[in-house]
Structure formats: structure tokens, C-alpha cells
Structure 1
Amino acid sequence: MSSRRLRLVRLSALLKAAPHLAAPYEEAKRVVRAFRKPAFYEVATRCNLFCEGCYYFRDSFSPPVEETDPAAWERFFEAEGARGVTMAYFVGAEPALEQDRLFAASKHFPYGNIGTNGTIRIDPAIPYRIGVSVWGVDEEVDASLRGGRSFHKAIRNYAGDPRAIILYTLTRSNLGDARRLAEICRDNDLPLTFNMYSPTQSYLRKLQEGEGNDRTFFRISSADSNLRWDEDSLSEVRLLMPRLMDEFPETVVYSRAYNAWATQPGPLYDIDPETGIARDCHSRMIGQMRYFKTDMRPGAEKCGTSDAVCSECRMYSGGWSSKFEPRDEDVRDEAALTDWLEMITALGRIFLIERPAEQRLTVAA
């Protein structure tokens, strides 16, 4: 019997023994169904910030020839919708700079997730979840990590917007801002979740080669002072997150089980020793996953954030997508299954919002 089949047998036995978990499990299946056929779409190659260790502007970055015809984008997204894509991730440098493309996409995908730095408000008619990336509350921390002050603009732009969730990228240098951020999000009717900075190949190369600082994406880091995690800082995050969840239960959208997993020392994934690539990360461009560049052609990306170093990756996109299906440890006993269900509940709240009834598209069973 295959390992997957064994997990299903174990899952069935656990649900039979704990019938109170049946309803949460059915809801978990509904959440996961929305991600059944995902795709990543770069919709912008421009950005108005210079984030330290940027995920997008890697070494020798050369943007593709960009399609600028709105009608071509409309046809492209129509074809992707017909292909059955259920969840569209809109990425790139800064998607808010190309909102016509987001409008075109909104006609064809039932669910979408837009990653933005928050400095430009996305039109209220675009009905997708908006992950507003924040790196610091203190103006000096904010400016040093992002190359410009962006935090207060983001809060002003999205306060009370039901599409928005603040995505705080945790680093070793900004943990002290986390509680203050939770207060601000509470007071501005904004849910809050967390990402953990994960170094890119470009960033690690600059550290390892002792490259001097520049005026763009490597302004403040050095071999002795940088954004990489160590056991002490991981332990600090592991203790901090449950405290914030307890203190701000209506604001912080996270999971204790996920936090325990994401802050464990060492690699989170099964790393291929020859390639250095994670074999079990569900953000990989394998199976039904696709990644399209701004020329509308499939990119040869290894994952949704291709320059990230797999052995040090704690990025929320890869982490959460790797929880869609319970693993052996998730069906060990009732407590483990309860933890997995808690993670899927949080995942749904982070990535999904329901469209207005008049704009709702059907998700096939």
C-alpha cells in the first residue's frame, strides 16, 4: 500500500474516532479545493521600493520583453481561465503599478492573491485578496529595510479594506516592532499575518563574497549583520507569535502549529543534495503549477520565488502551500490532526476572500 493510501486510511480512522473533527475536515477540504489548480503571473517588472535582499531583482536581472497590449492580456487571462486555473497569484516587482492587468484577470479567475508593498492603493473593484507587505513600523527600520518609508502609506491606503491583510516580513532586525504593528492593525481594522525573510541566492552570494553595500538591494547587510536566521532568533519568533495570537485574537491570523514548524532549526524541506532544491515544497513548478512572465510565456522558475535558497527558505507562500495535504506526522493522532486543521483554517483566512455575489465565479468540484 502506498504511503499516501496509508495516510488516508489513518485519517479515516482518526475521523471515525473523533467525529467532532468531521465538520472542520470538510471545511478544510473546501479551502484546499480553491487551490486545486494554481498559477503565478508576473504582471509588473517595475517597483518603487528597494527592499533589502529583494526576492525579484536578482543578480544579472534582465526583464523579459513585456507585453503592453491590454487586449493581449485580456486574451491571455481568458485562456488561462478556460484552462481551469482556480487560484491566481499576481507577483512581480509591484503589481499595483499595472492595475489594468489585474482588472483583466479578475474576469476569469475565481480566486486571486495580489502581493503589494501597499504604497499604491489597488482599485476597490478588483475583488482579490491583497497581501500588503510590511517590513517595519519604526520609520528608521522601515526605511533601512525597504529603501524608503512605506509603512504609514500602506496603513492609510488599506485601513478597513476587507480585501487586505497585512503581511509582516519578520527579520532579525524588526521583531521589536511586531507588537506595535498588531496594535496598529487592530486600530485600523486590518488582519495581520507573518512571513519570515528567506535569503536569495543573490543575497547570500553578496554576503559570502563580502560585496560592498550599494544604493539598491544590498544597502545595509554584511557578513556580521544581516537578515539570516539563527537558532536564537528562531527561538525568539517561536515564543513571540503565540503571545501575539493570545493578545490580539481578532487581529492576528496565524497558527501555533505552523509557527512551531516554521521556526524549527535547519531546513524545513527535503533538500536534494545534488541540486540544493526542495523536493517536497508545494510552491515548486511541477505538476499543474505554472509561472508566467510578463511576456506571457511560461518561465523556467523552480518555484514561486525562484531565487530563494531552499535550504534556508521559511517563506510563507511555500510553507503554507506545503500544508495542503496532511503528511504522516499530521495523522499520527487526534492532536496532530487537530493541529493540521488549525493550519488549514489559518491558511484559508490568509489567502482567500469571497468575491461580491455579483462578481462570483464558479469553482468546479
Structure 2
Amino acid sequence: MSVNNHGDTLENLIIPNSFLTPRKTAERVITLLKENSELTAHYNNAKNIVRAFRKPAFYEIETRCNLKCEGCYYFEGGETQTTKQVTREEDWKDFFKQESARGVSMAYFVGAEPALAQHRLLAAAEQFPWGNIGTNGTIKIDRDIPYRIGVSVWASNDADDIKLRGASVFRKALNNYKGDPRAIMLFTVSKWNISSILEVAKMCADHGVELTYNIYSPTKTFLEKIDNHESNDKYFFRQSNTDHSPILSNDDLSRARDLMNDTIELFPGTVIYSKAYNDFMCTPGSRYDLDENGIATNCHSRIVDPMRYYTTDLQSIPSKCCTPDVDCSSCRMYSGGWSSKFVPSVNDLKDRNSFISWLNIIDTLGKIFLYKNALR
């Protein structure tokens, strides 16, 4: 996720064509603040949140994983799992020190399963002010790592977990992170688990763990397998076929939207989400403008300067985004969705109420991605 900018101000942000120009955006914000001076403090807080993402980078920490998830974003369609890893701990420490000197403000730790290489996370924790770790939750991450931990959730019960991920995961993750302020459960809502949205929220509330949502978005590789009627395998395509897949229909999106909105009200201390953002992401149709190759042109999760993506050989690679095989036309992934809200759109600047909604979205974004006790 990235602000995609070379500085801290709205004037320096790269604005896609569907937005106002940088100058017009800044002028409109100034006008709104003059007319609603009571929003100035709220806006300044939003700027501080955005500033944390001024120079982001993605780091693949490990190429191994202890699960086999249906349609895995890392192994299905990707190639970096074959990368020859740098193994010397001192090399990782030196690398992170160089990245810190480069000015990286926000570090995303991904891979297959970062929790399998926690010495690398500990090395990074000495260097970066903000960090976000994506994990499956089966292995508890060291308390000395002061970063936000996004724990992926796919199902509310053991049977579905085993079917979709190859093991019972959610209950183990809840026990690992019960009461841990760093952790937030990231429930990927798909056609297969809409009915468990309320149950997952209640389970998180009962364990004192925060919850937010991701919306299932298929990869190009997965869609090709569906379209080509490929046979199931023993790895990452075990369950799906043309008539049975996690892909959400328009009706599914509507139902999921309503249930997710319900949990915001029912579990206010647990569910960290935004109705305005949810309504936008669950609207049918592509969420992004696409070029002639079907690539999103206004997604702020695109890997463009100053953002970089590194594999476990500590080399940066050209990559479309943090999940390069995802199909942009149907992408509703939380990384691209939230980062694309850093810049207020025309709709966000229509009037006082829309501007407040945008400010609240940024507040929610900060709660999802930033752990407040991180070193700064």
C-alpha cells in the first residue's frame, strides 16, 4: 500500500486522471476547511496518518509456508518462491539498515509465511518506524516485534478451515493472539463464507482481538483454471470448479456488504471497518480504471517509485503490485482499496459530509495498518 508520492503534501501526490488535479484537490480542501474550521484538527490527524506511508516498501521474508490455501496469492501464479534466499542474519541486518537510510517509513512483511523467519522481523524492527506483518496466525510472533500483525482468516470452523487451507487455523490464531493489541484479524470474505461473518466477529470479540475485512479477489491464474475446466490438484486448487468457487456475484457482494456493515454496529470495539469504504468496495463492477491491458491505472498499491518490492535474495523486482497475479478488473483487495483512499476523490470533496466520510476512512485506515506503539 502506498501514497505514491515524493513528499508529504497533497500538492506532491500523483493523482490519477479520475481525480482532480493536485492543485485543484488542494484548493478544494482549503475551501472546505475554511468553511468548516472545526474539521482542521481532524484533517491534520489524517495528514499524519498518510505521512506514515510516505515511502513504503514490501519485503518477502520467507518462501516457505505451513499451509496450502485454495488460490494462494503467493504460490499460485507467482515465481518468487523459487528465489534463492539470503540466509546470513548479518546480511539481513545490513540490508534493513540500508533501507532505513533510504528513508523507508512503512515496511510490509510478506512472503509465504513471515512467522517462520522471525529473526528477520526482529532485525527489521530495529530500523523502521512503522511495519505491518501478514501472517496466517498459526505461529505466534515475538512480543518484541512492535508492528501491526494482520492475521488472515478464511473460515469460522475447523471443517471449512481444513478444506480451504489444509489445516485448522482460525481457532489456533485466536488463541495465539488473544488480547494482543498488535493483532487484527483479516477476514477474507468470499462466496463460501458469507454466512459466517457474524460468527467470526463474535469469536473475535470473545477473544479480545480486533477484526477487519478483505474481499476475495481471484488471481489471473485461478480464473484461467476455472475457465479451462482444469482438474483439481492436491495443492492450491483442491475445491474449485466452474460451478463452485469463492468468486462473489453481485448478489453475494450486496449480502456481504450488509452483514459487514451490521458487525460494525454490533461489535464497535472489535470491528475496525468503515461503512463508506465498505459500500464503495462492494459496489458491482471494477473498482479501478483499467488500461488496454486490463491493468489498474489508479490503484495506489502499484509498485511505482518510491515504493519497492524485494524478494528473499534482497533484490528489488519489477512488479505490478504487491499481489502481481491478481486480476485488476475484479480486485477488491484491502491493500489496494485502502491505499487508493489516501487521496480524496472528487466524490470525497463534494461537500462537508463527504469530506467527513473521507476523514473517517483515513482514521480507520490508520487503525488497521498502524500499531501505535511502534518506534517513531
- Give the TM-score taking structure 1 as reference length: 0.96
Does 1:140 find its partner at 2:159?
Answer: yes
The structural deviation recorded for 1:244 is: 0.7
Give 2:220's aligned residue. Answer: 201
Q: Which one-letter code corresponds to 1:38 in the other structure? A: P
* Structure 1 residue aligned with 2:325: 307
The match for 1:119 is 138
Which aligned pairs between 1:51-200 and structure 2 lie closer than 5 A?
51-59=69-77, 61=79, 63-200=82-219
Residues 90-118 of structure 1, C-alpha deviations (whole Å, 9 max, x = no match) = 00100000101101100110000000000
Aligned partner of 2:241: which letter? S
**What is the alpha-carbon root mean square deviation over aligned residues?**
1.3
Q: Aligned-pair distance for 1:181?
A: 1.2
Structure 1 residue 287, shift from structure 2 partner: 2.2
Shift, 1:59, TM fit: 3.5
Moved more, 76-85 or 131-140: 131-140
The 5 A counterparts of 1:276-295 are 276-295=294-313
Contact 2:76/2:236, CA 8 A, preserved across alignment: no
Cα separation, 2, equivalents of 1:96 and 1:197: 23
List runs of 5+ in structure 2 lacking aligned partners. Answer: 1-10, 12-19
Q: Give the share of equivalent positions with the same residue, in percent.
A: 50
Q: Is 1:346 matched up with 2:336?
A: no
Give 3-state SS (helix, strand or coil) of 1:160's partner. Answer: coil
1:16 is matched with which residue: 31, 34, 37?
Answer: 34
Distance in structure 1 (CA, Å) of the matches to 2:32 and 2:198: 37
- Cα distance, 1:355 vs. partner? 2.6
Instruction: Tell me the alpha carbon deviations over residues 214-244 of structure 1, each in whole angstroms, 9 at most, x when there is no partner.
Output: 1110010001111112110011122112211
**1:26 and 1:59, CA in 2 relative to 1: closer, same or farther beyond 3 A?**
closer
1:35-46 equivalent positions in 2, closer than 5 A:
35-46=53-64
Partner of 1:264: 283
Q: Deviations over 1:232-259 (max 9, x none)?
A: 0011122112211111111100001100
1:327 and 2:345 aligned: yes
Aligned equivalents of 2:242 and 2:317: distance in 1? 32
Distance (whole Å) between structure 2 residues aligned to residue 239 and residue 181 of structure 1: 15
* Count of matched residue positions in the alignment of Structure 1 and Structure 2: 357
What is the CA–CA distance in structure 2 between the aligned matches of 1:31 and 1:280, rounded to whole Å?
A: 20
Q: 2: distance between equivalents of 1:285 and 1:126?
A: 26
- Of 28, 50, 57 in structure 1, the residue corresponding to residue 46 of structure 2 is 28
Tell me, in whole angstroms, the C-alpha distance in 1 between the residues paired with 2:372 and 2:77: 38
CA distance in 1, matches of 2:152, 2:68: 13
1:102 aligns to what SS in structure 2? helix
1:238-295 deviation line (CA, Å, top 9, x unaligned): 211221111111110000110011001111001112x211011111011211000000
Instruction: Determine the C-alpha separation between the residues in 1 that align with 2:158 and 2:118.
Output: 28
Q: Secondary structure at the match of 1:168?
A: strand
How far has the Cα of 1:58 moved from its partner?
2.2
Write the distance in 1 (CA, Å) between the matches of 2:117 and 2:307: 23
Runs of 4+ in 1 over 6 A off after TM superposition: none
